[in-house]
Amino acid sequence: MQQEQLILALDDIGAVRFGSFRLKSGVQSPFYLDLRTAVTRPQLCRAMAELLVARTTAVTYDAVVGIPYTAVPIATHMSAITGKPLLQLRKERKHYGTGGLVVGDYTAGMRCLVVDDLVTTGQSKLETIEALKAEGLRAEHIAVVIDRSSEATAQLATHGLQLHALTSVATLVQTLLRAGRISNADAEAVDNFIHSSEQSDRSDNTAVRKPTAPSGPLLQRIRDTMQRKKSNLVLSLDVTDQQRFFAILEACAPSLCMVKTHADIMQGDLNAFSRRLRRTAEQADLLILEDRKFADIGSTVQKQFQAGPARIAEWADLVTVHMIAGEAILDGLLPDSAGAAGADCGALLLARMSSRGNLISQEYTRRVFEIGGRRRHQVPGYIGHAEDHAALRALKRQVPPGQLLLVPGVNLSAQGDDLGQQYLDVNSAVSGGADAIIVGRGIYQEQDPAAAAQSYRSAAWSALQHRMEEET
């Protein structure tokens, strides 16, 4: 089967469609590609594999890796054709059995050919290669059936990666037009869409994505506070005694941009606590993050936020929110009306947790970022953790442009505890993508919390400046 025959065969089974389709990014597209139906047909799947093997004859590789899920059958056929081992990459790392992300017979240093059905931005390809590198494998070549964007080759090349595509959308459209399968209007709509997308990509300078929704003033306030104090350190002060709480906070305040609290663990008069906390934060130029982790329906979280013994809406600048209840939780939690209690408060969404064995999946994380990206006026950022530097870099790439990633579970040296907490060291966290680090026991359990806070602040701020210099 040749390229033109493949394109017609994909059209025959409805893998190529024209009309109006809403993509995962929220963008309306005049065409849609779905190769999931193609890989269920053995002969067609085999034909795609044969063409990809021919397309990559000049590439030296030791194993084939298909990105889950559509590309796995294609990679399986390629493995059978070439006799190269097939490695399978799990969607998520197992924390039981043999563990790990990669399944198969491999040794460190093996060269992998990464296979996928489509490429648009190259995001999932970069994440896959980071995961392979974390397992000691090498990957410099990517083979795909269809390149949706003519910019992908150049974008991946900036990461030292070479793309090998069987065909492009432009070639696909012209082939179908010549065969009388689509109209001139369809072809023109696709051409205009691709041209518009490429213009947007270039204006973003490929490395800096533009926000899709306006930001709120709280995001700028956080950035301004960080810059004024030359600090990206958040103290998670999980101390139950008010006297000790404020002694530590006041000693550490010069090194902090934010303090994270759990009002529901505090002993004594909560009203007195919140008033003093608000006063201390204003005097020390700090933001207050109440780590309430709201997770109920809108009407319930509204009462939890505005009423109850803590009356969080009256003193917190930010609160943490689980999105398990859906996007409507933000409608109930954060009022839009000016002057209402909590109207100036923002939400940090829980995208990943630092506890070992937590149940947050990659799909859940992706949906959290989608929702937060639409709610930039209410959501300045996210709380997210990853088990290592490579995984954190992959997580950071998913964060909508302009929003912040705050990373918990950070210590001056990576370690864990007997309660399931996992730690990253400061440099790995910040170079991996943390805009701010959240530190708790590494500061408040030290004999001199103020000195510990200064050490964390210095290390984290220096790492952030270094990362920003590299990114520019």
Positions marked active-site: 291, 293, 296
Transcribe 357-393 into DSSP letters.
T----HHHHHHHHHHHHHTTTT--EEE---SSHHHHH
Q: Is the peptide bond before 69 cis (omega within 30 degrees of 0)?
A: yes
Nearest-10 Cα torsion for 38, 127, 387, 435: -140
> Looking at residue 216, what DSSP letter applies?
P
Ramachandran region, residue 206 (left: φ > 0; alpha: ψ -120 to 50; beta: rest): left
**Residue 410: strand pairing partners:** 424
Cβ-contact 170, 194 below 8 angstroms: yes
Nearest to 237 by CA among 466, 21, 450: 450
Query: 3-state class of 293 per DSSP?
Result: strand
Q: What are phi and psi of 57, to 5 degrees?
A: -65, -25
Give the pairing of strands 28-33 and 16-22.
Answer: antiparallel
Between the alpha carbon of residue 409 and those of residues 241, 254, 374, 383, 396, the distances in Å are 23, 21, 27, 11, 16
Q: Given phi > 0 = left and psi -120 to 50 = alpha, else beta, which region is 305?
A: alpha
Buried b (16+ CB within 10 A) or exposed e, 144-179: bbbbbbbbbbebbeeeebebbbbbbbebbbebbbee
Looking at residue 314, the DSSP 8-state letter turns out to be G
Neighbours of 80 (CB within 10 A): 13
Q: Which residues share a beta bridge with 409?
A: none
CB distance 73 to 335 below 8 Å: no
Contacts of 372 (CB under 8 A, 6+ apart): 349, 379, 381, 382, 400, 403
